[in-house]
């Protein structure tokens, strides 16, 4: 019963429509009577708040005597609020929980803690937590990790397990789209179709709009990509992925440097900038260019 009541809420969450997920959970909360259903509702509610950047709200509302899963979400919110200053205590806490056996058999907590390691770009530790996942959300996260470390073969293997559980589940459809993008060539068109169908059915979210835009950039459909990304920015003006993809799109479109630089500066001021490999490479290229320009100017004197 709870699974049916939470179906729409979970779907909204998976697709990145976080406010819709929150609204749906509040709407259905009184009808959820069993303990497990209430815990699931709280999990997706607070994860949605975290995805919106409402870290203070999560930390205030989750009490010290809450379930391990909610404590994990509180830890996640604290970490994301200030990754540099809260990193050490967060990682120590995770190690303690693993040692105490709190994480074992707690699927939601496994996803939360593995997500923290992904933010740290410590994929080895993330895999230690999630590599034996046999549930949809865990497999979706596992596929993300494999794609980040360029192990398409392992991502495909994990997707085969996912198909056996529920091929039509939204995380399965999304995971297949990300895999097809990584496979390249004609598969990119298939990925684009999947993401377009999800957008038509559930509405465009920054997640879906970015996915479509990436496909369009790879297919050299830059004007279409720009339209999708500007729509995404209207929904979330500070979304790091959207702005990164828009910069990439504008570079390919050969837009004036002053247009590109506006978005590039916005990226550099984001808390996510320190963890962005792509932005680091852009900054390195800029530094090298400036050094070369200085040397040329000096030699011309």
Q: What is the pLDDT of residue 30?
A: 84
> What pLDDT shows up at residue 301?
45
What is d(CA 283, CA 97) in angstroms, rounded to the nearest whole number? 38
- The whole-number pLDDT of residue 155 equals 98
pLDDT of residue 279: 66
Tokens, residue 16: 């990145």
Sorted by sequence, the CB contacts under 8 Å of residue 36 that are 6+ apart come out as: 2
Q: Phi and psi of 7, rounded to 5°?
A: -55, -50
Q: Spell out the domains of the chain, with CATH numbers in brackets.
A: 197-301 (1.25.40.10)
Report whether 44 contacts 25 (CB < 8 A): yes
Low-confidence ranges of the chain (pLDDT < 50): 288-296, 298-301
What pLDDT, on a 0 to 100 scale, did the predictor assign at position 3? 75
Give the gyration radius of the chain's Cα atoms: 21
The 10s digit of each residue's pLDDT in 123-157 is 999 999 999 999 999 999 999 999 999 999 999 99
pTM of the predicted structure, to 2 decimals: 0.89
What is the pLDDT at residue 293? 40
The pLDDT, as a whole number, for residue 270 is 72
Q: Contacts by 245-254 with C-beta closer than 8 Å and gap 24+?
A: 245/210, 245/213, 245/214, 245/217, 247/282, 248/217, 249/213, 249/217, 249/222, 249/225, 250/226, 252/217, 252/220, 252/222, 253/222, 253/223, 253/226
Q: How far apart are CA 95 and CA 178, in angstroms?
A: 31
What burial class does residue 284 get, using C-beta atoms within 10 Å of its C-beta: 0-12 exposed, 13-18 middle, 19+ buried? exposed
Structure confidence by residue, pLDDT tens digits, 173-223:
999 999 999 999 999 999 999 999 999 999 999 999 999 999 999 999 999
Please state, in angstroms and as integers, the Cα–Cα distance from residue 219 to each residue in 63, 183, 189, 246, following that order. Answer: 49, 13, 8, 15
What six digits make up the tokens of 41? 């509702």
């Amino acid at each position: 019963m709870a699974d049916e009541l939470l179906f729409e809420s979970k779907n909204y969450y998976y697709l990145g429509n976080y406010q819709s997920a929150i609204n749906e959970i509040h709407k259905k909360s009184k009808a959820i009577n069993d303990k497990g259903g209430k815990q699931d509702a709280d999990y997706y509610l607070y994860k949605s708040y975290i995805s919106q950047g409402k870290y203070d709200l999560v930390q205030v509302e989750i009490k010290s005597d809450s379930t391990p899963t909610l404590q994990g979400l509180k830890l996640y919110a604290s970490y994301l609020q200030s990754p540099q200053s809260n990193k050490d205590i967060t990682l120590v806490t995770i190690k303690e929980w693993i040692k105490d056996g709190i994480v074992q058999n707690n699927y939601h907590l496994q996803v939360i803690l593995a997500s923290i390691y992904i933010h740290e770009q410590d994929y080895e530790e993330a895999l230690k937590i999630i590599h034996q996942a046999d549930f949809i959300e865990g497999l979706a996260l596992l596929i993300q990790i494999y794609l980040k470390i360029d192990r398409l073969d392992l991502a495909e293997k994990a997707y085969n397990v996912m198909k056996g559980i529920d091929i039509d589940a939204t995380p399965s459809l999304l995971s297949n789209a990300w895999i097809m993008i990584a496979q390249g060539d004609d598969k990119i068109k298939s990925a684009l179709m999947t993401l377009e169908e999800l957008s038509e059915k559930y509405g465009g979210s920054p997640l879906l709009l970015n996915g479509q835009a990436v496909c369009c950039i790879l297919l050299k459909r830059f004007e279409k990509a720009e339209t999708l990304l500007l729509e995404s920015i209207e929904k979330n003006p500070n979304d790091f992925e959207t702005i990164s993809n828009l910069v990439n799109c504008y570079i390919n479109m050969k837009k004036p440097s002053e247009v590109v630089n506006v978005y590039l500066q916005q990226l550099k001021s984001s808390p996510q900038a320190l963890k962005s490999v792509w932005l680091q490479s852009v900054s390195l290229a800029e530094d090298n260019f400036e050094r070369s320009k200085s040397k040329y100017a000096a030699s011309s004197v």
